[in-house]
Structure 1
Amino acid sequence: MQCRLTCCLFVLISLPFSSFLLAQEPTRSTLSTVEKLAAFLKRFPESDADHDGRLTMDKYRNFQQDRRSRTEARRPVSPHADIAYGEHERQRFDLWPVPDAKEPTPLVIFIHGGGFRGGDKSAVSEKQVRLFQEAGVAFASMNYRLSDVGPYPNMMHDAARGLQTIRHRAKEWNIDSNRVACFGGSAGAGISLWLAFHDDLAQPNSDDPVARQSTRILAAATLNGQSTYDMHTYREWFGVPDLPFHDALPAFLGIDGEIELFDKVVRQRMKDASPITHLSRDDRARVYMVYGHGNTEVTRDTPQGDWVHHVRLGLKLQEAMQALGLQCIVRAPGINVENDPDGSVERFLIRQLIEAK
């Protein structure tokens, strides 16, 4: 689900990571166009090109087009672009191996956000890719089928298959298939956590050599990530029994028509889609989570973009992981962080992958 973030937090915690999260999700579907434009103008005063104090749709479109053009200019060119791991057009990834590496290198995979409804692997910056490469870590950015194609588990299984494809061809790209980590924002964060905790999907006896590869990873890092997609759990954690269903969840969960939270199939799918469901003591992946807002109160009227990106989703996962003796660091305004030698998503991932050698 797309992230609504505080820009100053990016600067203080993880500036390069913010460049991946270019699209913003409206937090109140009930806002009028005038109200949305006014809110956008407040956030981006430079969008008022003629400085008359008002933002029209034409000025909004021109500003967004200019932003897209500048973003396109900053995107790195992948030496291995649009590598297919399936037949669908979105089952593709871009890969940047470490140039001139003398031995196989670890790999970090970025998985984009977008509420399972949007987003793209192109939302990466040259600075980010170079940061990992200079540390001796290869970089990949992955697309997956969205909810307009079909519901969960498509998204998670696509990411797993993409990972298996890279592992199958690891020698070709000089990658150490035993040292792989994933990270992403919002929906991409949820997929990364799901891979971190879910039982290995490898099929050792398969005739397909890709399917025989492991789907387990060493570490996962997230920005405004979800540890659950179960509305019962959201309502329990926030203490709001009538918290409205998030707009993106019905399509993600394959719910048509009236939402029935107590339907057996719906409940099972919500549970299985939730990364925290698959957490167990034998999980080896370490987790690093960053949030844009502190542990504020949630009510029925809290914008859905706030509660679905709430730090409590990270704190609850941290609590569950620590109870099992597993490492999970959560950073957010007002949250006391103990024993964080890294201070950013990038440094955390690099250290986990390099030290795993």
Structure 2
Amino acid sequence: MTTRFAIAIFGTLVLPIMLLAQSGTDRFITRMKNDDINGDGKLTRSEFTGPQRLFDQLDEDGDGVLLLSDVAAQKLKNLRAIAGDQSGPAIGSADRQRMMETIQSRAANLRQGDAAMRGGQRERRDPDHRDVRYGEHERHVLDVYLAKTENNEPAPCMIWIHGGGFRRGDKSEGSLFARPFVENGIHYVTLNYRLSQHAIAPACFHDCAHAVQFLRQNAEKWNIDKSRIAIGGGSAGAGLAQWIAYSPDRADPTAADPMLRQSTRVSAVVLLNAQTSYDFRWIKKHIPGDAWMGDGLQQLFGYTIEDTDKIEDEQFRTIQECSPITHLSEDDPPSVFYYRRSKDPEIAMQNAMDGIHHPFFGLELKKRADELGVPCEVFTVETTKDRLFYNRRWDHAVAFLKKHFEMD
């Protein structure tokens, strides 16, 4: 087969796929832009008009928000993978079958979405106990996913707190991450908390602490080893998890309610795209760009960015009290941070959403943790190898927990 003829066949096979993929990508991006009614460059679950399953697949870190720039880049990368590099050496007849198999495989990846770019295939698992009440508010509910244990021995537990800017999100999002934990002998719990439209800070922080106490109070019922409980979350949930992990134990031995006598201390912390401070002054100093102006923080603490000079001392004390980095001390548990972005400062300046999830948050906390001798790891995405690691972060997280839970 001549070189020209081989390339012609290759073009004949690939071109329709490329055109179809390009057309589908354009339509998809256009639909996403149309969904973005307020033009902020991101979509929440309520704004997204496509299938719920598709949203879950595109939502890499499970924070309930899609960045349009990420989704567009993801689709275009798939398209380029199909197109390949046609400027290389000639394709001989012996390679034709392999070429066709490659084209078919890549086309299938386009139809299904690139699983690696979605952080691996994720499958929802139904909880063993759904909507268990831990308080009086309608959002004081949690789901329990039970692991199988040998001889019915108590097993460690991972508590996951959803993100969503303190204004949205639901515990059901955590079902996407349950399987790696329960399949490795770790119970898994997801919880809801009051959002900022229900009550401003510190309400949601106290809610999550009470949920930890509730789990310890009911540990025997679900076969949980109360001495081995870890906590984690994504974005806002990561901040809530850190606050519990780094704050002094909230157990009150004199409380009339036995639940409030339970400890809030945990064994380890697993975090996605975490903020470590909510003080806009701290954020303005350490994070480039406009992240410090985030409206989610304004709503959480009840101020407006135009009137920061009118914030009273009591409000500032609440903001600092709710900032995890304020509480870090030498007796705190080990933490691992996963960020889906590079630590390049320019990333934080692209838009406020990239800034508020920038690795500088975790890296600043790590500086303090290193000074105190508290184990702390921060992973960022700088290379293709880093991206592959991030996409398989749950394997690393499980290994991290098993080490600190002293599981064989």
TM-score range, shorter chain: 0.7 to 0.9
- Kindly indicate whether the alpha-carbon contact (under 8 Å) linking 1:193 and 1:275 is maintained by their aligned counterparts in 2: yes
Which residue number in structure 1 is paired with residue 234 of structure 2? 185
Q: Matches of 1:310 and 1:96 in 2, distance apart? A: 31
Q: Out of 143, 147, 161, which is 1:111 matched to?
A: 161
Greater RCO (CA < 8 Å, at least 6 residues apart): 1
Which residue number in structure 1 is paired with residue 28 of structure 2? none
Amino acid at match of 1:119: G
The one-character-per-residue Cα deviations of 1:190-240 (angstroms, maximum 9, x if unpaired) are 111111100111111111000000011111111100110011111111366
- Kindly indicate whether the alpha-carbon contact (under 8 Å) linking 1:106 and 1:354 is maintained by their aligned counterparts in 2: no
Q: Offset at 1:156?
A: 1.2
Q: Matches of 2:349 and 2:159 in 1, distance apart? A: 36
Q: Matches of 1:74 and 1:20 in 2, distance apart? A: 14
Q: Offset at 1:344?
A: 2.3
- Kindly indicate whether the alpha-carbon contact (under 8 Å) linking 2:247 and 2:328 is maintained by their aligned counterparts in 1: yes
2:327 maps to 1:286: no
- Kindly indicate whether the alpha-carbon contact (under 8 Å) linking 1:294 and 1:333 is maintained by their aligned counterparts in 2: yes
> Aligned with 2:197: secondary structure?
coil
> Aligned with 2:378: secondary structure?
strand
Which residue number in structure 2 is paired with residue 65 of structure 1? none
- Kindly indicate whether the alpha-carbon contact (under 8 Å) linking 2:341 and 2:347 is maintained by their aligned counterparts in 1: no
Q: Any stretches of 5+ residues in structure 2 without a counterpart?
A: 1-41, 44-56, 77-121, 387-393
- Kindly indicate whether the alpha-carbon contact (under 8 Å) linking 2:288 and 2:349 is maintained by their aligned counterparts in 1: no
Instruction: Return closer, same or farther for 1:304/1:20 CA change in 2, 3 Å cut-off.
Output: closer
Q: Give the structure with the higher percent helix.
A: 2
2:397 maps to 1:345: yes
- Kindly indicate whether the alpha-carbon contact (under 8 Å) linking 2:154 and 2:225 is maintained by their aligned counterparts in 1: yes
Tell me how many residue pairs correspond in the alignment. Answer: 300
Q: Matches of 1:300 and 1:136 in 2, distance apart? A: 38
The one-character-per-residue Cα deviations of 1:8-66 (angstroms, maximum 9, x if unpaired) are xxxxxxxx9x766062255xxxxxxxxx6x98556557xxxxxxxxxxxxxxxxxxxxx
2:237 maps to 1:213: no
Which residue number in structure 1 is paired with residue 34 of structure 2? none
2:148 maps to 1:96: no
Amino acid at match of 1:104: P
Which residue number in structure 2 is paired with residue 23 of structure 1? 64
Amino acid at match of 1:331: F
Which residue number in structure 1 is paired with residue 191 of structure 2? 142
Which residue number in structure 2 is paired with residue 324 of structure 1? 372
Q: Matches of 1:300 and 1:93 in 2, distance apart? A: 34
> Aligned with 1:122: secondary structure?
helix
Instruction: Return closer, same or farther for 1:302/1:268 CA change in 2, 3 Å cut-off.
Output: farther
> Aligned with 1:227: secondary structure?
coil
Q: Out of 322, 325, 344, which is 1:296 matched to?
A: 344
Amino acid at match of 2:155: T
- Kindly indicate whether the alpha-carbon contact (under 8 Å) linking 2:291 and 2:353 is maintained by their aligned counterparts in 1: no
Larger Rg: 2
Q: Matches of 2:208 and 2:163 in 1, distance apart? A: 13
Instruction: Return closer, same or farther for 1:211/1:39 CA change in 2, 3 Å cut-off.
Output: closer
> Aligned with 2:216: secondary structure?
helix
TM-score w.r.t. length of structure 1: 0.76
The one-character-per-residue Cα deviations of 1:53-106 (angstroms, maximum 9, x if unpaired) are xxxxxxxxxxxxxxxxxxxx9422212111100111111100022235421110
Structure 1 stretch displaced more, 296-305 or 104-113: 296-305
Instruction: Return closer, same or farther for 1:133/1:235 CA change in 2, 3 Å cut-off.
Output: same
Q: Matches of 1:154 and 1:42 in 2, distance apart? A: 38
- What percentage of residue pairs aligned between the two structures are identical? 34
- Kindly indicate whether the alpha-carbon contact (under 8 Å) linking 1:98 and 1:137 is maintained by their aligned counterparts in 2: yes
Q: Offset at 1:351?
A: 2.5
Q: Matches of 1:89 and 1:229 in 2, distance apart? A: 26
Which residue number in structure 1 is paired with residue 320 of structure 2? 271
Q: Out of 283, 308, 318, which is 2:356 matched to?
A: 308
Instruction: Return closer, same or farther for 1:84/1:231 CA change in 2, 3 Å cut-off.
Output: same
Q: Matches of 1:213 and 1:325 in 2, distance apart? A: 27
The one-character-per-residue Cα deviations of 1:141-169 (angstroms, maximum 9, x if unpaired) are 11111011011111111111111111001
Q: Matches of 2:240 and 2:261 in 1, distance apart? A: 20
Q: Any stretches of 5+ residues in structure 1 without a counterpart?
A: 5-15, 27-35, 46-72
Q: Matches of 2:188 and 2:266 in 1, distance apart? A: 14
RMSD (CA atoms): 3.1
TM-score w.r.t. length of structure 2: 0.67
